Amino acid sequence: MEKILEVNDLHVTFTTYGGTVKAVRGVNFHLNKGETLAIVGESGCGKSVTSNAIMRLIPDPPGKISNGSILFNGKDLTKLTEKEMRQIRGVDISMIFQDPMTALNPTLTIGSQLIEGLRQHHKISSENAKKKALEMMDLVGIPNPEVRMKQYPHQFSGGMRQRIVIAIALICEPELLIADEPTTALDVTIQAQILELFEKIQDTTGVSIILITHDLGVVAKIADRIAVMYAGKIIEVGTKREIFYQPEHPYTQGLLKSVPRLDLKGEKLTPIDGTPPDLFSPPTGCPFTARCPFAMEVCDKVYPFQSELSDTHHVECWLQDERAKQLLATSAAK
């Protein structure tokens, strides 16, 4: 399969008065054409920073992409100037933000916010731009688009606004769509509608999607592959099946155990104890050691190598080491 995006050894740091925060510490992943990759993890694990880094929207200062490359169709985005990057934002890569209530400018009409991206990047008459905007509003399921175009964001409900935000992101027909928690701010019924909309859009436009979320329910619905992020690193990546049915990293297992399930009525949820490490001075070993029920001596000292369980399923954990497996086997035999 053709890779549309390849992120190699990405490091992002933020320089603050308190010191340097290493928010993203060597992230590697890729995205194939037309697939949906979900990046999951708890708050502060660096998933939004990663997505902003791809868009080069990290505020500099204080933020900085300190190392690594982001190859989009073979072009390294970290090497582009701001001006070159502007030719890519909104045209080739688009972004959907978490909160539709604040993502739209309250003083501009929906129509003008839809059209301006189109007119910025393409030489197109306002007549044709308007036609395209109407098409997009129709695609995302907004009834009565002619009237709605002239209205302002405050005249729309949350779900409708998120549809508009999606329409804005898609109007230039991007190849890659980054959705940063697109359903977090919406209530559950609307969430389902928006997720269905994502599926429909991917079917009609073939866009590749990176979905940033902490909601495993959302992931189960629309992701093809899942990358689990913890303390600025991707600790496990695999297809949806692999992650949900054979999670290998103790953190992934913990995440799945802490999701409420309808079929396990009466059983208590198992939260992961403790908190993520301080990213001002991240541990040299595996960052999950302090919370890990299987922690070994080596975990605290050396960061684990990547183990390839299959072509698609990679995990970074010492439990995958042959010696650890032997140890577990012998202790089980006793």
Partner 1 sequence: MTRYILKRLLMMIITIWIIVTLTFVLMKAVPGSPFNEERTTNETVQANLEAHYNLDEPYIVQYLLYLKSIVTFDFGPSIKQPTETVNDLLGRGFPISFELGIVTIIVAVISGIILGILAALRHNGIIDYLAMSFAVLGISIPNFVLATLLIQKLAVDWNLLPPATWSSPAHMVLPVIALATGPMAIIARLTRSTMLEVLTQDYIKMARAKGLSPWKIIFKHALKNALMPVVTIMGTLLAGILTGTFVIEKIFAIPGMGRYFVESINQRDYPVIMGTTVFYSAFLIFMLFLVDIAYGILDPRIKIHKKGGGE
Judged by phi (left if over 0) then psi (alpha if -120 to 50, else beta), residue 142 lies in: beta
Verify binding: residue 89, partner 1, rule CB under 8 A: yes
Q: How far is CA 3 from the centre of its chain?
A: 17
Spatial CA neighbour of 319 closest among 247, 260, 259, 265: 247
The smaller minimum CB distance to partner 1, of residues 107 and 125, is found at: 107
Verify binding: residue 17, partner 1, rule CB under 8 A: no
* Minimum CB–partner distance for residue 97 and partner 1 (Å): 6
Among 1, 74, 79, 154, binds partner 1 (CB under 8 A): 154
Q: Which range in 95-103, 132-140, 284-292, 310-318 contacts partner 1 by CB under 8 A?
A: 95-103
Number of chain residues interacting with partner 1 (CB under 8 A): 29
Q: Is the Cα torsion angle 159, 225, 29, 248 positive or negative in sign?
A: positive
Per the CB < 8 A criterion, the answer to whether 176 and 72 are in contact is: yes
Spatial CA neighbour of 235 closest among 301, 275, 292: 292
* Minimum CB–partner distance for residue 159 and partner 1 (Å): 16
Q: Which range in 100-108, 247-255, 269-277, 289-297 contacts partner 1 by CB under 8 A?
A: 100-108
Helix 158-170 / helix 126-139 crossing angle, nearest 10 deg:
130
Among 16, 102, 128, 281, binds partner 1 (CB under 8 A): 102
* Minimum CB–partner distance for residue 121 and partner 1 (Å): 6
Spatial CA neighbour of 216 closest among 259, 276, 247: 259
* Minimum CB–partner distance for residue 238 and partner 1 (Å): 29
Verify binding: residue 106, partner 1, rule CB under 8 A: yes
Q: Which range in 4-12, 85-93, 122-130, 229-237 contacts partner 1 by CB under 8 A?
A: 85-93
Which tokens is 116 given? 């301006």
* Minimum CB–partner distance for residue 17 and partner 1 (Å): 12
Residues 37-76 that bind partner 1 (CB under 8 A): 55, 57
The smaller minimum CB distance to partner 1, of residues 93 and 299, is found at: 93
What mask, x for binding partner 1 by CB under 8 A, covers residues 200 to 239? ----------------------------------------
Verify binding: residue 121, partner 1, rule CB under 8 A: yes
Per the CB < 8 A criterion, the answer to whether 170 and 177 are in contact is: yes
Residues 168-197 that bind partner 1 (CB under 8 A): 168-169
* Minimum CB–partner distance for residue 126 and partner 1 (Å): 15
* Minimum CB–partner distance for residue 59 and partner 1 (Å): 9
Per the CB < 8 A criterion, the answer to whether 238 and 254 are in contact is: no
Question: Interface with partner 1 by CB under 8 A: which residues?
Answer: 55, 57, 86-91, 94-95, 97, 99, 102-109, 116-117, 120-121, 152, 154, 165, 168-169
